[in-house]
Amino acid sequence: MAAEQKRYNRVRCTDGISAMMDKFYKDILNAPSQGRKVCWCSGASPYEMLTAQNVANFQTENHSARVSSGQDHMYYIDKAEGEGWPPDTCSYTRINVGVALFIARGEMDKVHPKYRVAPPDFIFAGNTCPAMTQWGESLRRIFDVPMWELDCPFNYDDSDERYLENVKYIRSQLEDFVIFIEKNTGRSYNWDSLKDIVFRRMRQVQQLRAEIAEICKGKPAVMSQFDAMIAMGPAHMVRTDAVTEFYKKMLEEVKERVKNGVAALPGERYRLMWRGNFPWYAVGRMSRWMAANDICLATGAYGMGAGSPHANRLFPPDGFGTGDDPLTFVAWNVGTRGYTRTLEFKMREEVEEFIKGWDIDGVCLHSPRSCRLWSMQEYDMANLIETKYGIPATVIEADHTDSRYYTPSSVDLKLQALIEGIKARKE
C-alpha cells in the first residue's frame, strides 16, 4: 500500500464549522436561561417549525455524529447499553440516550462540555425513520416530557397521486403540530417567521448548495465528498443568516478553486461515489487511506444531495396551488424525501444522477449495521450499478457511529479490490 502521506486538499471554509456548531450547541444549553423552550428532534422531522417559534432545537443525529467524529461515542453507547438498550438499536439513538440518561439525572458534569445541551421540554420525532420514533419514546420516558410524532407514509409507487395524498396528510398533521407548539410555548404561532425560514432561508441555502454541487462535478474534483459531508452540518441544523453566509463563502471558494485549478486531490486517478451515511469515527482514517491511493471520493447523495433533481424539488413545482402557505411547503419537503421512496426512485435520483453527473469509476455502498433507514437494498443497487453502468460497486459493512462494527482490514480489502476492479476494466 502507498505510504500514508498524501492528504486531501480541504475546502478551507469547513474549518469554521466546528466553531459554528460549538456556538450552536452552547445556545441550546443556555436557552432555558433566556426563557426559551427546548426540543430534541429526530432528523427527518421538520424542525424549522420549531425554529420559527424560537424554540431551541437540534437534530439528534447531528449531535450523535458530532460525538462519534470526536471519537467519544463509546462512552455514551456503553451508558445506554448498560441500562438495557440493545446493541442492535440505531447507534445514533444509543449515543443520544446515553447523553440523555446523564442529563436527566442531573449528571451534566459527566457529559463532555462540547456535547452538553439543555434537557428537552418536549420531543419531536418523525417515523420516516422508524428507529427515531422509538428514540422519541425512550426520551419521553427518560425526561417525562410530551412527545409529538409525525407520521410520514411510504410512497410505494412514486405516483403523483400518492405524492399529493401524502403531502395533504402530512400537512393536516402539521396543523395539529402548530397547536401542540402553541400549547407548549404559551403563545401564538409565529407564521411570519416560518414563512421567512421556508421561503427565504431554506430556499437560499438549497440554491447555494445546488450551485456548489454543480461546480463540484468538474474534473478534477475541486471539493471531495468528505468536505461535502462535513458541510451538511450547518444545513441540517440551523435556519439562520449565519448558515446562508457560510454557504455563500463555500460557493466563492469552490469557484476560486476552479479558476485557479486547485483540485481536492491532486493527481486523482479514481473517482468514487459513496452511497449511504458514513462511518463518522473513520472520516480521518478513510480520507487518508483514499488520498494515499489516489482515490477521490468525489460525490454521494449524503453530502452532495443538493445536486440531485430530487433535492431541487425541495420546493414543489409552480402551480402546485399552495400560494404562500408555508405548511404545504414543509409537508412537501418531508413527504417527498428519498427515505420513503422505492428502490427505483433511489436508483434514479440518488445513485444514477451522481454516477453520470460526476463521471464515477466505482461506487461504495455503506451497509450500516444498526441503521434500518440507510440499509436500503445495497446489494440490489450494487448489481444494478454493475449491470447498467458496467462500473464496479462494493458493499462496505460498518456502522455510522458505532466503531465496533468497523473492521479496517475488511474495509481496506473491499476498497482495494474495488480499485483493482476499476483498473482491470480500464485495461
Q: Which residues bind other proteins (CB under 8 A)?
A: 1, 369, 379, 382-383, 386, 392, 394, 397, 405, 407, 409-410, 413-414, 416-417, 420-421, 424-425, 427
Give the N- to C-terminal CA distance of the chain in Å, as an integer.
Answer: 21
Q: Are 400 and 69 in contact (CB under 8 A)?
A: no
Q: Show the cell assigned to 378.
A: 445495497
The sheet with strand 270-275 has its strands ordered as 295-299, 270-275, 362-368, 393-398
Cα–Cα dist 29/33, whole Å? 9
Calculate the CA dihedral of residues 7, 11, 13, 14 and round it to 10 degrees.
-60
- C-alpha separations of 276 from 33, 303, 304, 339 in Å: 38, 10, 12, 11
Q: Name the packing angle between helices 73-82 and 60-69 (round to 10°).
A: 120
Q: Using an 8 Å Cβ cutoff, are 223 and 354 in contact?
A: no
Identify the three-state secondary structure at position 61: helix
Residue 46 CB contacts under 8 Å (≥ 6 apart), including other chains:
126, 150, 174, 330, 333, 334
Which three three-digit cell numbers place residue 331? 409537508
What's the gap between Cα 248 and its chain centre?
A: 20
Residue type, 78: D
Round to whole Å and give the CA distance between 37 and 421. Answer: 54
Nearest of 170, 394, 207, 411 to residue 289 by alpha carbon: 411
Contact (Cβ atoms closer than 8 angstroms) between residue 238 and residue 328:
no
